[in-house]
Structures are given as structure tokens and as C-alpha cells.
Structure 1
Amino acid sequence: MDRRDLLRAVAALPLLRAALPDPAFAQTYPVRNITMIVPFPAGGQADLAARPVAMALERILGKPVIVDNRAGGGGGSVGNAAAARAEPDGYTLLMTLSSLAVLPEADRLFDRPVAYEVSQFMPIARVLADPTLLAVPASSPWKTAQEFVEDARRRRGQITYGSSGPYGTLHVAMEMFASSADIKLLHVPFRGAGPALTALLSGTVQAIAAAPGTLKPQVDDGKLRVLGNCGAQRIASFPDVPTFQELGYKDVEMYIWAGLFAQSSLPAPVATRLREAMAQVMMSPDVLKAFDTSGSLVAYQDAPAFSAFIAADSARLIAAVKKIGKVE
């Protein structure tokens, strides 16, 4: 979304607010600190999105917005569930990733109690939507994705990769690629993208699929090499990295989007206040600079467009999870 689209979105929001009941309720919000749950450790895409957004929201709303990294459960399920159970008053928000829709399906796949349902959440705004990138250590023997694939075919199940947890975004991306390339890799789950990246840098695992913002500082320092892009198009921060679709893996397409959510029963005036604030946040020079520096592109969507995007993206991801089947 360009600046003109953002300005149109901001201009339209007062009309929506006027149609909603009890505007005085929104005028009193917030009166205390707001907690923004991030269901992953520091260093991953959700955390990268949350921190500049929280700082900008704090300026706009006039109350502290505290980032709470609440990892656990694999793929972010513990933090997502905590946000789902919170009081729907606008004081507990969730900055999470596309795995939000995948994890309940994984619970059902294993006949486990479902930690939460997507229907418990109200989308407020999409912040980022980056393709996942396949990265390996700069010291590795693989200079191209094809070399990686050829080696993996020779040594089935021996090349290790890290993820943010079973059925998390990074896991699904790698299994989607492995299925398309007809290779078998060894999955090593961690509690988030940050720990998985640390494991890659230390040599504990040999590959990772992660967001551009997570990888770019390490690539710039000469520690990592990016071999492939799971998006439909090349990206400005890694213009020389081909997409997997370019390389012939036509069914590989995966994005790590980050978005802000509240509870589905949040009062409409508070939801509108948050949507208005997020429209301003996503035009903030500090936020735009933070994302640009990290190599991530702003991908703002207001609630209606974000809801439609989630529905389409979730259907594709759930189909991928069912294809992956049960994994430990």
C-alpha cells in the first residue's frame, strides 16, 4: 500500500467511527498501560514488527505499550492462546504471524485439545508480509538452491534445518519446499525464529527459512548466504536471489506476515480507535525507517482487507499442513 492509499484509509475511518455506537467509550480509551503479546522470543519477524509499532502506538495513544515476548508451545501457540483468553477491553493486543491459523489445525491433526480458535480474534491491521527465504551459513558448500537440492537428494534426511516450532511458519515453508523439490530434510524445532537463527549461526543446524528482516543483518555481515525466495517475486533487499518458482518449484509460495489482533468481542469503538491509530503508525517515519533498515517492506492493510487476506492465506496454509501430515 502506497502513501496515497494510506491517506485515503485514514480519511475514511472517521466516517466509520461516526456509524458506531458509544463514541464516548472510545474517547476514554486508553486509560492505562497496554500489553502487546508477541508469542515468540526476541529476534524473529513478530518481534521485529512489534517493537517499532509499539513505540509509535505509545506516542499516538498516550499510554505505554509494553511488548511481552511470551514464547512456548511451538509456533506461537502459548502466546496466541493467552491473548485469546484476555479480557476484550483493548488492553491486551497480539502481534503474531501467519501460523495463527495453522496451529489449531495441527492440534486437530494430533487429536489434541485446541489451544484457541482463529474466530476468537479480531484483525486490526496487517503490518508486514515478507516472503520466507532459504538461508545457509556462508561457509556452507551450497552456493545455489540447486546445489542444496542435489546434495539433499544424495543424503536424504541428513541435512538439518531449524524452525520456530512444529507447524510454525518456518516449518511449513521448508516442508513446502522439500515436498516440491522431492527431498527429505531433518527438522529441528526451536521456540522461535530467533533461537533457530542462533542455532544456524552456531552450526547446530545447516539451514533455515526466515524473513528478510531476520536474515539481512547476518547476510550483510558475511555470516549467511540466501539461496532462494519463497515469494512470487524477487524483493528489493535481496534482488539477486531467485524465487523458487523461477527455479521450477511452481507450488512453493510462502509469506511470513505479521499483524495486530485483539479479541473478537472487543467493543467496536475501541476497535475503531485502534484501527485509526494503526493507520497513523504505518505512516510514521520512525516505523517506516525501522522496517526499511531491516529489509522488510511495509505491507499495511486495515481490518477489512486484512480479514480477506487472512481467509485466503489460511486456506492455502491449512492445505499445506494437511499435506505435511503428522510430524513430531
Structure 2
Amino acid sequence: MREGEGMRITRRTALGLLAAAPGLAKAEDWPSRPVRFVIPYPPGGPTDILGRVITTRLAQDLRQPMVVENRAGASGVIGSEVVARAAPDGATFLVNASIHLIIPHLNPSMPFDAVADFTPVTNIAMVPLVAVVNPALPVKTIPELIAYLKANPGKVSYASSGNGSALHLAGEMFKLMTGTEMVHVPYRGAGPAVQDLIAGNIQLIFDSIPSSAAAVRAGLLRPLAVTTASRVAAYPELPTVAEAGVPGFEIATWYAIWGPPRLPPAIALRLQQAVAAAVQAPEVRERLATLGADPVADSPERFAEFCRREFDRWGRLVREANVRLD
């Protein structure tokens, strides 16, 4: 290596350390005040449930209040924009689902860039979806559901937690792969959708396990199959949709934390490490297990790469299924 070249590298390294120093200094004291976690859906849905499980433990471990703020609307866009515009001081974070990387493929007029305007912190957990029906619908299996849909095209309504959500795409994928017709009814979160399913106003939902689990246990809803490639511990008796007659059907959702753009890397790392410790706490693992959630807590760098892959994957699915917001 030439002497001049070595000096240039050393100078770049020094400049990089100086640029990182303010973030490192802030991280040493972080969090020194309450931290706000924006959940862009109403209370009661899976994002809200998982977000509160994690933030409750974070408050205990980090010795600061973790304030959950529900800002619902526009398939998560309203709450997400709050974080996209927030100061990168470690005081505001977003807890959202995989829809965060789906909705940009459906909405050309997004008020923010779902990738560039956020700092990936960590994914919290991966959660399978489960096909759940109102017991009044005369089906108990996926083949019976397909037969009923083909005999009654367009007469069954399926719900989602919002346009562009994984729940929405699961329904569209099911229609595409089975040659059936259903009416999509979007809600402002899975919680209200499940309540309407219980009431019989809609007939079907491909739901995250957490939000419908209590209603299933109470016998108010009937599960048919899970959407992952293999069976899940929460419903060991249920087949996968693929096993039940739709080969190749596979979809799941996941939940994660992002910060505002330009969040100091050291703060992102400190929060990720706290989340990684939280999901290993016995009471948190037990609670996640009851919700059918598998903890993840990847590093910010690995999560950022995961986000890039997921952004591309969801984009392909939206195009192939010809999913539209209207």
C-alpha cells in the first residue's frame, strides 16, 4: 500500500469516528427520559398486543417509561409518518408490521419513503397467519371453504387489518391460487375486524394468531388452517393451507421497530440489544408463545438487509396478484 493511500484511509476512519461520536455520547445516557412507541393501529390488534408486551419489559429493563401511542389510519401510514418526521434523538420509535414494506407498492402518493425515511432497529417476532371463519359459515376445512366459495362466488366477505396488509395479501393470494371470488373488507386494524367477524358481519379472515386467539379459545371463531410452510405450536392440530389442498401457499407476517431517519447507530444498537434481552425473558417468551409468535431480534444491520429483501418480495407478490387499494 502506498503511504499516501494509507494516510487517506486513516483520515477517513478518523472522520468517521468523529461523526459517530455524538451518537455514541447520546447512547451512553439513553434513555434519559420517557420513550414513545407509535403503534399505527387501534388497541387490541396484533401489532398493539406484541408492542405492549415488548415495551412493558423494556420499561422494566431500561428503567424509563415506554409510552405506547396508538395513531391509527390509512393502513398504518398516519402513525408511521409521525415517526418519519420525528427528531432522531431516541425519543420516538415505530412499532409496525410487514405492511410497512407492502403499502409503498400500492400507494404511489406516500407522504414518506418507507425505506429511506426510517432507521431499521430490529424485528421483534415472526407470526403465522391462520384462516379463521365465523362458525355460521358451513365449512370446517380448506377444501370445504374452496367448494363453498366456488358455489357462492362473491358472496363471502373476508376482512383485513387494512389495505395492503399481509392479511389483505393472504386473501388475494388465496383467491388467485384457488380460482375463487371473495369481497375484501378492510378495517382500521385487526382488532375491529375480528369483532365484526365474531358478530357475523363478515365471514373470514386470514389473521395473525394473537388477535383472534382468545375468540378461538372461547369457541366464537373456527380456525381452518395456518398459512406457513409447516404447522405451528399454537395450533398443532391444524394443517397448513398447502397441506389442505393449496400447494405452494405460504405467507406470514412479522413485527418490528424502526426509528426516525438519521437515528444514531449506537442508539439503534442499544435498543436492539434491549429488545433481544426482552424476548429472552421467561415471561415474555411465554407470552409470545401463547400468541404464536417466534422471537427474532436481529441486529440493526441484519434487519436492514431483511427489510431490503422483504421490500422486493412483497413487491413481486403485489404485481403477481394484481393487488390494488380500491
- Whole-angstrom distance in 2 between the partners of 1:300 and 1:279: 5
Is the 1:72–1:78 Cα contact (8 Å) retained in structure 2? yes
State the secondary structure of the residue aligned to 2:298: strand
Deviation string 1:57-79 (CA, Å, 9 cap, x unpaired) is 11222211011111101x21111
Whether the 8 Å contact between 1:245 and 1:251 is mirrored in structure 2 is yes
Q: Any idea what SS the aligned residue of 1:311 has? A: helix
1:175 is aligned, of 172, 177, 180, to 172
SS of 2:196 mapped into structure 1:
helix
Q: Once the 2 structures are TM-superposed, how far is the Cα of residue 305 of structure 1 from its aligned partner?
A: 2.6
In 2, are the aligned partners of 1:76 and 1:168 still within 8 Å (CA)? no
Which is further off, 294-303 or 153-162?
Answer: 294-303
Identity percentage of aligned residues? 30
Partner of residue 256 from structure 1, selected from 250, 253, 262: 253
- Give TM-score scaled by structure 2 length: 0.89
Q: Which residue of 1 aligns with 2:323?
A: 325
- Offset at residue 218 of structure 1 (A): 1.2
Equivalent position of 1:146 in the other structure = 143
Q: Secondary structure of the residue that 1:48 maps to in structure 2? A: helix
Counterpart for residue 135 of structure 1: 132
Q: Distance in 1 between matches of 2:85 and 2:191?
A: 26
1:113, distance to aligned residue in structure 2 (A): 4.5
Q: Is residue 80 of structure 1 aligned with residue 77 of structure 2? A: no
C-alpha deviations, 1:226-252, integer Å up to 9, x for none?
A: 112111111011112111222342342
How many angstroms does 1:115 deviate by? 4.2
**Alpha-carbon separation, structure 1, partners of 2:89 and 2:304:** 20
The list of structure 1 runs, each at least 4 consecutive aligned residues, that deviate by more than 6 angstroms after superposition, is none
Moved more, 305-314 or 170-179: 305-314
User: Could you report, residue by residue, the CA deviation over 1:5-46 in whole angstroms, capped at 9, with x for unpaired residues?
Assistant: xxxxxxxxxxxx9xx635332112122111100111112121
In the comparison of the two structures, how many residue pairs are matched?
A: 307
Displacement after TM superposition at 1:314 (Å): 2.5
- Given that 2:269 and 2:299 are in contact with CA atoms closer than 8 Å, whether structure 1 keeps it comes out as no
CA contact (8 A) 2:99 2:165 kept: yes
Aligned to 1:93: 93
TM-score normalised to the size of structure 1? Answer: 0.88
2:137 alignment partner, SS class: coil
1:207-286 map, 5 Å: 207-286=204-283
- Structure 1, unaligned runs of 5 or more: 1-16
Look up the equivalent residue of 1:325 and give its one-letter code: V
Q: Aligned residue for 2:181?
A: 184
Q: What is the Cα-based RMSD across aligned positions, in Å?
A: 1.9
Report the Cα distance in structure 1 between the residues aligned to 2:81 and 2:227, rounded to whole angstroms.
Answer: 28
Distance 2:167 2:218 in 1: 22
> Separation in 2 of the partners of 1:171 and 1:295?
20
**Counterpart Cα distance in 1 of 2:275 and 2:281:** 10
Q: Cα offset for 1:114?
A: 4.2
Aligned to 2:72: 71
Question: What is the identity, as a one-letter code, of the residue corresponding to 1:259?
Answer: A
The structure whose Rg is larger is: 2
Match of 1:121 among 118, 123, 137: 118
**Which runs of 5 or more structure 2 residues have no equivalent in the other structure?**
1-16
